[in-house]
A and B are shown apart, each in its own frame.
Chain A
Amino acid sequence: MFKRLSKIIGLRKKENSSSNTAMAADKKQPMVEGIPTDINDLKARVRREFDRCEDIVIRTLEIGQDNFIEMLVVYFDGLVNKDTLNAHVLRPLLIDARIVPLDKSVNKRTIVNIIERNLLDNCEILELTDFNQCVQNILSGNTVLFTEGSDIALATCTKGFATRSVDKPDTESSVRGSREGFVESFRVNTSLLRRRIRTSSLKIEEMTIGQQTNTKVGIAYVEGIVNKRIVDEVISRLSKIKIDGVLGSGTLEELIQDAPLSLMPTVANSEKPDKVAGKLLEGRVAIITDGSPFVLTVPCLFIEAFQTSEDYYSLPFIASFIRMLRFIAFVISMYGPAFYVAMVGFHQSVVPFKLVVTIAAARQGLPFSPFTEAFIMGLTFELLREAGIRMPKPVGQAVSIVGALVLGEASIRAGITGAPMVIVTAITAICSFILTPYTDLLPFARFALLIAANVLGLIGIALVSAAGLVHLCSLRSFGVPFMAPFAPLNLSGLKDTFIRAPLWTMFTRPKELTGIHPDQNRVRMALEISPEDYDGNE
């Protein structure tokens, strides 16, 4: 019987793996459709494609001196910069083309070549042979020129839609670091990275995801540092995505998670180019999504939430102190209410006598148990937070004032909650804002711990924490254990965890990320520049 069971299990495994390979083989193979050479067919084809797209502009030109050659200029109104189009596409074609001998008798191919090489003074021109690609180019703001009798179309870069300019990032503010933040425009984002890492090793591969939105997605990494297997994994996961729309990087994040049902994100995001550049240099892979100012980076480790780019711009002692503060904040914001409930309900003898007197006095005559109180206060806080975020800014302030009053003064005065609970909730709230990546998931942990603390006291807290820790340790982000460098332990990796060691001591690149060969990718920083050498020189 056991054998049968195992057979069934084994079979299932096999099925799974085979279906996986099948999916991989079924990779999107776009069909190639040639461009009609006959100008009328072409017109019909373009009209059909953009039927009822009223913002399309299809213009017919006739260029040349004697034997006019018909051309089709297709672009979307609003996506192109009309000045560029006028000055650098239409003007050369209509006016300058008279100087260049263009003739129908010339080989068909060369007309396009002449147009491309001799006429257009626009900087970026692509030759296209696939009609679908032409459509894509038109949709992304390029102007596509079809030439009579040629199966090659030219796409000129005339993109000129309204975009936000590079601005301070809202989610991550910085004191000493760069103030630039990513914007919604793909190209601007890649340029922000490119400007920081000026090496040809910075590769940015592009792909299109989304059957309807056709969103451009870039995969950036630094060759020579990155672990090639991680890049392959990223590409294979991204290419498996079949979804109608990718409207923000969050969609991609969810679809490439290692553990989709886990609360913990195993994909990090950032709005700051310097942060992303730093991660690229550590051997991570960045995923840039068109239309989203958030760039994803993988693999994402637990510790990353505690590291900010600021840490590396300030002195090691200060940075280490702040790092430790963040850990303390993490612990407080997770355990605060649960610990309070356990202490008040189970372990009064652990609390110093005078504190017990204070708490007992404050809790005298309150209607709710500490657990209910903590639950209500926690919930109220989450409501206020959500209201504060979603409200328009001026109203948001009003919400926070009302919230502070409701939470603080009134509830104590009215005898609904005790002052200690308000203090606990408040400090929990403050601490939860310190770790922005985890702010949204901390309430879950907090409530789970709260329930456990109410049933079993500290034992409950310990049990739930242990289970949580097991879960964290079981996670992997693109093959890298999520809790690295703590578990599996990597002593040299610990230099950048609880403390931020001086930069000249962290001379190797993170071991977990940069691949299997220990000899390769070793040195992040040349050892010669440790401070001892400066002493010798002076």
Chain B
Amino acid sequence: MRVLSKKNIMILAGLILTFAIVYALRNFGILTSFHEITIAMVCINIILGVSLNLITGFTGQLSLGHAGFMAIGAYVCALINMELNSTFGFILGVLAGAIIAALVGVLIGIPTLRLKGDYLAIATLGMAEIIRVIFLNLEITNGAAGLNGIPRYTNWFWLFFFTVTTVVLISNFINSSHGRACISIREDEIAAESMGINTTQYKVIAFAIGAFFAGIAGALYSSYFYFLRPEIFGFLKSIDILIIVVLGGLGSITGSVIAGILIAVLTAALQSFAALRMIIYALLLIIIMLFRPQGIMGTKEITDLLNFSKRE
């Protein structure tokens, strides 16, 4: 497969076009700072959704602790950036947050990923709670009062850059032999093991990569929204991320991207409905799930639908 295949050139052109259009609309003042918040939430949702999809959708390990990794990324980046307050500090914070989240992912993954199904879900849930309570009680994170005055460095360029990087890296991982090993674990763990795949190792790898990108999402979040407190990363945040994955389709990166966009836009659009909005939101989710129980995309990708691969 050539790097400059027709497919890749088309994707690259599409990406550059998207970036340029949003950039131009912003400069002409058609997109205001309110729209920008929705765009930020779109990008953060996509990163979270795609990274959890790797763990839950492709490797088949139900994790309810994604918000915990997000919290680590958010706090590490915020603390570093409040010290340095520069673009360099921001990049350093994002990377440090992601790496620490991944390390925690490995540490927690090794003992818990021996569990399956419900047991794993509960263990990961517990892990996220522990992370949250640690941040709640640390002096440096200012406890329940929260961190205030985090400088804003997240902008359209960085959001776009990290979102594209996440999607490209995770889709390449899935299409590699390691990725196929992960998918085989989802399909049948015993069969995969009998074919010589080290299932625990691959589960931990998927878990760590997922945690890494959740850390990036958290870091982007913290340097966009100025303010952090541990309650943001509670159990419900993990469920929100899981909704993106299930809605988009377990095992479809395109699905997670679409669902990530949909959820963020819906949240913004329903702001005017005050008390009714959670009902409308829930109804829409129920309707989509009734008509498409496999999620918006099922396990298909946009590239399957456009039929690139057959012509090559």
Q: Are A and B co-members of a single complex?
A: no
